Structure 1
Amino acid sequence: MIARTVACATLAALAMGAAASAQNYGLNPNFGTYSLSAGFLPDPQVVNVIAGGTIDAGHLGGACAGAISDAPDVRLNFNGGRISIGAESNADTTIVVNGPDGRWYCNDDFDGLNPRVTLSGSGQYDIWVGTYSGGTAQAVVYFTEY
């Protein structure tokens, strides 16, 4: 009975590990890599993207939602303190960010149907812009210190 319980727990842990690694921040971003330092101008900086994908961001847990791609949409190498990362679109979009600390940060509907997260710290930020109801949509990712 103990062996069976351990085997089930091991299988559950493996399944959870596979789901959590579905987003591959090791892939090249779909819409480029950008570097910014504190005090950057103009503020905000913007990048045009196509939001959406075939992967349900809900598997990342927390507030993560929407359909996203496997590879990040945008990579930001940031040298500074506080940074806000958001998306704007005519569609209902979501945002998923893998921060320099390896944690996942997500938002849906910060400003109407547009998402935004505010984080602190220097390092690599991998960013996915999702569509809440699936499909794809034109969007803008923006970076601001305000």
Structure 2
Amino acid sequence: MKNTILAAAALAAITSTAALAQDYSLTPTYGSYSLSAGFMPDPSELQITAGGTLDAASVGCAGTIANAPDARLNWGGGRMTIGARSNVDTTLVVNGPDGQWYCSDDVNGLNPALVFSASGQYDIWVGVYQGNNAPATLYVTEY
């Protein structure tokens, strides 16, 4: 009986954690975009509100983020950087075309950035390390 109760409690904990995970199948809050090598203007920028109510630790990252991606980038391939700038400490969470989760924090001061080269779909969240939501600029650059 005791083992059954412990097993049920463990299953409930796993199920509740999975329900809090970021959902890359949702429609991105700030839209979907396509870019290919040589895009102009460079950087391509998008004004967003960073942060959310979910702990990005559910995918191994830092900060709080929204459930739906902030943006979806369909990338044509070649080296590019995805980053964010803000007046607060921001983090970056990306689900790459390979299905893996990528995290960044404090690369350029308190701002995150990640370098990729594979073509495909990138679902992007900009988080806030501590505190409330904050205005931020999400950018993609080849420089």
Which category of TM-score, normalised to the shorter sequence, fits these structures?
0.7 to 0.9
Identity over aligned pairs, percent: 59
Contact conserved, 1:53 with 1:134, CA < 8 A, in 2? no
Alignment of 1:19-98 (within 5 A): 19=18, 22-61=21-60, 64-98=61-95
2: CA distance, partners of 1:115 / 1:134: 17
Output one character per residue of 1:107-127: Cα deviation in whole Å (capped at 9) or x when no partner. Answer: 010000100011121100000
In structure 1, the gaps of 5 or more residues are none
In structure 2, the gaps of 5 or more residues are none
Q: Deviation at 1:17?
A: 9.3
Paired residue type of 1:131: V
Q: Deviation at 1:95?
A: 0.4
2: CA distance, partners of 1:21 / 1:95: 17
1:134 aligned onto 2:131: yes
Contact conserved, 1:93 with 1:131, CA < 8 A, in 2? yes
Q: Deviation at 1:65?
A: 0.4
Output one character per residue of 1:79-107: Cα deviation in whole Å (capped at 9) or x when no partner. Answer: 01222100000011000000000000000
Q: Deviation at 1:33?
A: 0.7
Instruction: Tell me the TM-score normalised to structure 2 length.
Output: 0.88
1: CA distance, partners of 2:30 / 2:102: 20
Structure 2 counterpart SS, 1:84: strand
Structure 1 counterpart SS, 2:58: helix
Is the alpha carbon distance of 1:20 and 1:78 closer, same or farther for their aligned partners in structure 2, counting shifts above 3 Å? Answer: farther
Output one character per residue of 1:46-71: Cα deviation in whole Å (capped at 9) or x when no partner. Answer: 0000000000101212xx10010000
2: CA distance, partners of 1:98 / 1:21: 16
